[in-house]
Structure 1
Amino acid sequence: MLTDLEARRLLNAIKELISTKPIIFPSLQSYITLEATSAQTNDKFQIDVHRKTLNVKKCTYQTRYKKSINLLRIDIEGPPHPNPDGTEVPCPHIHIYREGYDDKWAYPLSDKISTDPFDLVQVLIDFLEYNNINNTPNVISQIEVN
């Protein structure tokens, strides 16, 4: 388990993607995982982009540490999230690691991240920036690949 202070340090760290090849945005019912590292601390991170369903607007973006600790998660489309105190936060929302709760708390999404479900590529670019990724390559949608 991480303390809140340790989680903030990890979230605030400047990170670089290990691969600088263009990112192929996942098609429906697929996902990608991007590997990142912090030059300051040598910490390693995984950034997941999941499109688990056939709903073209549904996508989850997640930052993990040590493969199993969810530091950040954005849900763009879906039901409201019930927080541990009983409050509900509608989609889109962001989950931020909280000591003792992992990623069980959701918060309204910051204006720093696009929430347009029709431009999920821009949401990814904004999410990478929010994660302090300093070498974001081009992101190519599946429509451009075919």
Structure 2
Amino acid sequence: MDFKDVRQMINELKMIANITPGEAIAVPVKNDKTCINLHGTNYDYLFDLNRKGHRKPKCTYQLRDANAKSKILFRIDLIGRPHPNPAGDYAYADKTLDCPHVHLADFPVYGIAVALPLDSPEVHMNLSPSDINNLVKCLKVTFERLNVANRTDFKYNLEDDIL
């Protein structure tokens, strides 16, 4: 699959498929995770909400191809370890980025291996530094970025505090 196909997958219209409108989408408690099924125009997806941290708190939201479950298309790491970027010819080469940061599988040449800061032009997310402590707001903005059309049909809950 080439970068153009991946970009189409990230940007295509999607719908939350396994939760009834009006029900709540819960950000999982620390050390837990959950998965939401998304149905797209041309593809089906898995959207992971992961707060399983081994030694430190973690919070990651990611979009995967349902037919190739190991293929991550988009990931936002809100809480977690810093990410060292590979060497290369791009703005963030050889830099280590703290959380929060975003990984895009359609990033030219390097794909998902590159972490991008939230204010990078490729990210297209409107999250301020103060928003990062609000995991529900981050989830809503992530759904907006991933073109989840029915995202406003649900309630959102946070089951515990951020740390």
Do the two structures share a fold, i.e. TM-score over 0.5? Answer: yes
Alpha-carbon deviation of 1:118? Answer: 2.5
Which residue of the partner structure matches residue 46 of structure 1?
46
Q: Is the 8 A contact 2:100 2:117 kept in 1?
A: yes
Q: TM-score, normalised by structure 2?
A: 0.76
CA distance in structure 2 between the partners assigned to 1:69 and 1:113 by the alignment? 25
Letter in 2 for 1:48: D
Alpha-carbon deviation of 1:24? Answer: 1.9
What's the CA shift string for 1:78-123, capped at 9, x where partnerless?
A: 3321111122222110000046644211101145235534311111
Which residue of the partner structure matches residue 140 of structure 1?
157
**Counterpart secondary structure, 2:113:** coil
- Unmatched segments (≥5 aa) in structure 2: 88-93, 120-124
- C-alpha change, 1:27 and 1:64, in structure 2 (3 Å) is same
Letter in 1 for 2:136: V
Which residue of the partner structure matches residue 90 of structure 2?
none
Q: Is the 8 A contact 2:100 2:132 kept in 1?
A: no
CA distance in structure 2 between the partners assigned to 1:128 and 1:76 by the alignment? 14
Which residue of the partner structure matches residue 92 of structure 1?
100
Which stretch of the first structure deviates more once superposed, 112-121 or 11-20? 112-121
Q: Is the 8 A contact 1:32 1:49 kept in 2?
A: yes
Alpha-carbon deviation of 1:71? Answer: 0.5
Q: TM-score, normalised by structure 1?
A: 0.84
Letter in 1 for 2:96: E
Which residue of the partner structure matches residue 71 of structure 1?
73
Question: What is the number of equivalent residue pairs in this alignment?
Answer: 139
Give the root-mean-square deviation of aligned CA atoms: 2.0
- C-alpha change, 1:94 and 1:63, in structure 2 (3 Å) is same
Which residue of the partner structure matches residue 118 of structure 1?
133
Alpha-carbon deviation of 1:23? Answer: 0.8
Which stretch of the first structure deviates more once superposed, 123-132 or 81-90? 81-90
Letter in 1 for 2:99: C
* Percent identity of equivalent pairs: 31
CA distance in structure 1 between the partners assigned to 2:51 and 2:15 by the alignment? 23
CA distance in structure 2 between the partners assigned to 1:100 and 1:48 by the alignment? 25
Which residue of the partner structure matches residue 108 of structure 1?
117
Letter in 2 for 1:112: N
Q: Is the 8 A contact 1:69 1:102 kept in 2?
A: no
What's the CA shift string for 1:19-39, capped at 9, x where partnerless?
A: 23321221111011000011x
Q: Is the 8 A contact 1:61 1:75 kept in 2?
A: yes
Letter in 2 for 1:91: C
- Unmatched segments (≥5 aa) in structure 1: none
